Amino acid sequence: MRFGCPAYFWLLLMIPALVGLFILAHQWKQAALARFAQLALMKRLTPEKLLHQQVLKWALFLCFVFFAVVALTQPRFGVKTEVVERKGVDVIVALDISRSMLAEDIAPSRLERAKFEIGRLIDLLKGDRIGIVVFAGESFVQCPLTLDYGAAKMFVSVLSTDWVQSQGTDIAGAINLSVEAFRSQKSKSRVLIVLSDGEENEGDAVIAAQKAAQLGIKIYTVGLGSESGVPIPVNKGKGNIAYKKDENGDLVMTRLNSMMLEKVATEGNGKYFHAGTSLDMPAIYGEIAKMEKNQLGTDRMNIFEEQYQLFLAIALFFLLLEFFVPEIVKSELQWKGRIE
């Protein structure tokens, strides 16, 4: 048996509380009657309330509470098999992991912000396949197209600038590698999302975007960083952070090349977004969701049928039974002229 909302089981803690309330209420009634008159006299003057029937009524009410709570947890048992057709868009995210992405003009850094935004995008996907390509001076496929969103997020979370030795920002190489990754799949709708600062660009990314567009691949670019320029932090260990310098000892400044990223998006029939204080990932996914869905095959799914109706019926039965159990028993006594 499985449960859709197991958190409702916490409501079962009401049962011992209700038992305690019953005991306290009974003791309070007995004490109140004792203050009014002797209990023996009260039994003769008033209808008789049998303790065992009061206990029975409370027991039936507690059974009602128990089964009502079980019904709230949405119990599921009894398996049925359904054939589900999978449809979606193939999405590859190309992430720049060059050292310039360590710049902190976007908190906590360009790279960490990019990883966070990719995670947000994955959370929005509904039946779409996701793939991850990472690049700097060279590119490689970190995660091939998959429906395993948990695995994709895990791959993204461990990325760092230490994964590539060849520095630079070869967006053209990332686009070409993504095109090859798409070709291994039979799909109509394909989207490439490039997250980069666009600096120190190697190769001709615009021409690569044009070629990808001719194959029906739509390219969106996300610019990370500021155009004013900031130094690149270099972690030296033991909490000491220095900044990257050139051969002359001058600070190396990194700047967002938004113009180049805009050109890539335009030639790729997509749009350019800037990851400033707020990047609207739902807007990017909204663009993806408008595209024609690919047929990604079928899955056989074992579905547990919800059976809350059974437990709700049992709960109502106990409530109805409690209603008809009398608490007061009439006793017929002959008048003998005095109270004995």
pLDDT at 214 over 90: yes
d(CA 128, CA 145): 9
Pick 120 or 340 by higher pLDDT.
120
pTM (predicted TM-score): 0.63
pLDDT at 330 over 60: no
Bridge partners (DSSP) listed for residue 299: 84
φ, ψ at 286 (rounded to 5°): -60, -35
pLDDT at 121 over 70: yes
d(CA 317, CA 325): 13
The residue-averaged pLDDT of 272-300 equals 75
* pLDDT attached to residue 142: 92
Residue 333: which pLDDT band, with cuts at 50, 70 and 90? very low
* pLDDT attached to residue 208: 94
The residue-averaged pLDDT of 51-71 equals 86
Pick 273 or 199 by higher pLDDT.
273
d(CA 88, CA 236): 45
3-state secondary structure of 128: coil
The angle formed by the CA atoms of residues 192, 197 and 198, to the nearest 5 degrees, is 75
pLDDT tens sequence across 250-281: 788 888 999 999 999 999 999 999 887 667 78
Residue 193: which pLDDT band, with cuts at 50, 70 and 90? very high
Q: For the chain, what percent of residues have pLDDT higher than 70? A: 80
Q: In what order do the strands lie in the sheet with 217-224?
A: 139-146, 129-135, 90-96, 190-196, 217-224, 272-275
Residue 303: which pLDDT band, with cuts at 50, 70 and 90? low
Average pLDDT of the chain is 82
d(CA 92, CA 134): 10
φ, ψ at 42 (rounded to 5°): -65, -35
The residue-averaged pLDDT of 228-244 equals 75
In this structure, the chain runs to a length of: 340
3-state secondary structure of 84: strand
pLDDT at 108 over 50: yes
d(CA 188, CA 217): 9
d(CA 292, CA 207): 26
Q: Cα–Cα distances in Å, from 172 out to 144, 190, 204, 210?
A: 19, 17, 6, 11
DSSP state of 246: -
Q: Which domains are delineated in the chain?
A: 2-78+304-329 (no CATH), 90-292 (3.40.50.410)
Residue 289: which pLDDT band, with cuts at 50, 70 and 90? confident
Do the beta carbons of residue 25 and residue 99 sit within 8 Å?
A: no
Q: Cα–Cα distances in Å, from 100 out to 70, 83, 130, 269, 284?
A: 56, 48, 25, 27, 25
CB half-sphere exposure, 28, CA atoms < 13 A: 6
Burial of 339 (0-12, 13-18, 19+ CB in 10 A): exposed
d(CA 7, CA 336): 62
Residue 237: which pLDDT band, with cuts at 50, 70 and 90? low
Determine the residue type at 268: G
d(CA 144, CA 58): 61
Which of 70-74, 173-177, 184-188 shows the lowest per-residue confidence on average (mean pLDDT)? 184-188
* pLDDT attached to residue 167: 78
The residue-averaged pLDDT of 154-183 equals 88
Residue 5: which pLDDT band, with cuts at 50, 70 and 90? confident
Directed axis angle between helix 281-289 and helix 110-124, to 10°? Answer: 40
pLDDT at 298 over 70: no
30-43 in b/e form (b: 16+ CB < 10 A) is eeeeeeeeeeeeee
